[in-house]
Structure 1
Amino acid sequence: MTALIHAASTSDQGSWLSTLADWVVSLMELIGPPGAAIAVGLDNLFPPIPSEVVLPMAGLAASRGSFTLFEAIAWTTFGSVFGAYILYGLGRWLGAERLARIADKLPLVKGEDVEQSVAWFERHGAAAVFFGRMVPLFRSLISIPAGVAKMHWWKFGLLTTAGSLIWNSIFVLAGFFLGENWHIVEQYAEIFQTIVIVAVVLAVAWFVIVRVRAILADRGTDQASEGSGSA
């Protein structure tokens, strides 16, 4: 396992990703493949922790013989599903009605937005959960609307397991076959994540612009009505 620690620490000296990789390796060294499950579970709960770093380290550990490749994939997938169920439970606890009441108190957001989102999720939820497990940021967040929409827990579990198994296998296998060059896959994953973040920022900006314009238009209509009424 010493070689693993060296591979992690020398891949990106001084960065927080290097520190994270060292922590993941130490965790796997301490308790074995369940350590990878814990790290991946935390990735679901705290999206800033990138699975693109955690998963290849598990593959690297498997290539060094610390545990088998099957154990690496199985335990990381278990961690993904377990973390997803925690957020799913949070969504069930919040519920659509409670979220709608919260939304009504927020600027630029309406309770109707929650109702529309739940309606959309009821139509496309299966695809959203499955493919969402393979998209940075959405990989974690998609579990909450699944809970809010009260998707059947077994259906959510099957879709989450399937999507997570594909995503985890890709990165675990990359770490397994790339060895000490595991960080190469991180570079490509970072590009993908950047694209997703830019898309999200643009979508949020468009939502704000549309909603502000609608509010201004409503105010203009109200003022015109008041003016015609007083005349």
Structure 2
Amino acid sequence: MQLMSLALAQEPAGGVAGWAVDLVGTMGGPGAGLAIALENLFPPLPSEVILPLTGFAAGQGVLTVASALFWTTLGSVAGAVVLYWIGVLFGRERVHRIWARLPLVKASDLQRTEKWFAKHGTKAVFLGRMVPIFRSLISVPAGVERMPMAVFVMLTTLGSLIWNSVLVMAGYWLGDQWEVVETYVGILSKAVLLLVVVAFAAYVAVRLRGRAPARHRRSS
């Protein structure tokens, strides 16, 4: 198949690219949607590979651009809704029970987070769909906090459509150079992950520093 040979010029057939090309080549738009739905549930499946490849496939006439955007956005919403219901089933009370057992955290921290989500949750869900790593994770707290389903679906659809459009159209325009998209989005993903790790390390350091004087006061 010409699409397979062109798409896999930079990646082995057994890799994620080969799997995505097989799905899109066999099923067309629904295959792209299925791949993106699974990407939401299993973040190690990278959208920066699947979406540009879908755009590349559209450029090769395997499917239309409109079909690519419709099915990938539908897949994004379907995967996000599954994660939302995991958050609903997990429940606020269970989250509080687990939180209470964690070291270096306070109940007030979780309460502040809940207040923040109640105030800024709509922006978090919308913008989070365009941030690597958080694209999937943001759906769970939305479910825990019982964001109205209609609002969640609308925000997820809009945010996903923007993200998907950028990557699909990049793959469409770049053609067999689609892997350039993967490179740059991969760098962005690593930068986001690094910021999260640094922020978490700073949080732990502040907590440990705050506990040290308290232990000193008790011992004296």
- Give TM-score, length-normalised by structure 2: 0.95
Residue 167 of structure 1 aligns with which residue?
Answer: 163
Residue 188 of structure 1 aligns with which residue?
Answer: 184
What count of residue pairs does the alignment treat as equivalent?
220
Q: Pick the aligned partner of 1:129 from 120, 125, 131.
A: 125
User: Is it true that 1:61 corresponds to 2:60 in the alignment?
Assistant: no
Residue 44 of structure 1 aligns with which residue?
Answer: 40
Q: How does 1:139-218 map to 2 (within 5 A)?
A: 139-218=135-214
Cα deviations across residues 29-58 of structure 1 (Å, max 9, x unaligned)?
222211111111111111121101000111
Q: Pick the aligned partner of 2:23 from 2, 21, 27.
A: 27
Q: CA RMSD in A?
A: 1.4
- 1:62 alignment partner, SS class: helix
Please say if residues 81 and 161 of structure 1, whose CA atoms lie closer than 8 Å, have aligned partners that are also in contact: yes
Q: CA deviation at 1:115?
A: 2.1
Sequence identity percentage: 48
One-letter amino acid of the counterpart of residue 4, structure 1: L
- 1:10 alignment partner, SS class: helix
The 1-side partners of 2:210 and 2:67 are apart by: 53
The 2-side partners of 1:26 and 1:173 are apart by: 20
Please say if residues 103 and 111 of structure 1, whose CA atoms lie closer than 8 Å, have aligned partners that are also in contact: yes
Q: CA deviation at 1:13?
A: 4.5
- 1:48 alignment partner, SS class: coil
One-letter amino acid of the counterpart of residue 52, structure 1: E
Residue 114 of structure 2 aligns with which residue?
Answer: 118
User: Is it true that 1:104 corresponds to 2:100 in the alignment?
Assistant: yes
Cα deviations across residues 35-85 of structure 1 (Å, max 9, x unaligned)?
111111111111121101000111111111111110000000000011011
- Give TM-score, length-normalised by structure 1: 0.90
User: Is it true that 1:219 corresponds to 2:218 in the alignment?
Assistant: no
The higher radius of gyration belongs to 1
- 2:91 alignment partner, SS class: helix
Q: CA deviation at 1:201?
A: 0.7
Question: After the TM superposition, which of the residue ranges 106-115 and 185-194 deviates more from structure 2?
Answer: 106-115
Structure 1: state its 5+ residue gaps: 225-231
Residue 5 of structure 1 aligns with which residue?
Answer: 4
- 2:15 alignment partner, SS class: helix
The 1-side partners of 2:192 and 2:146 are apart by: 26
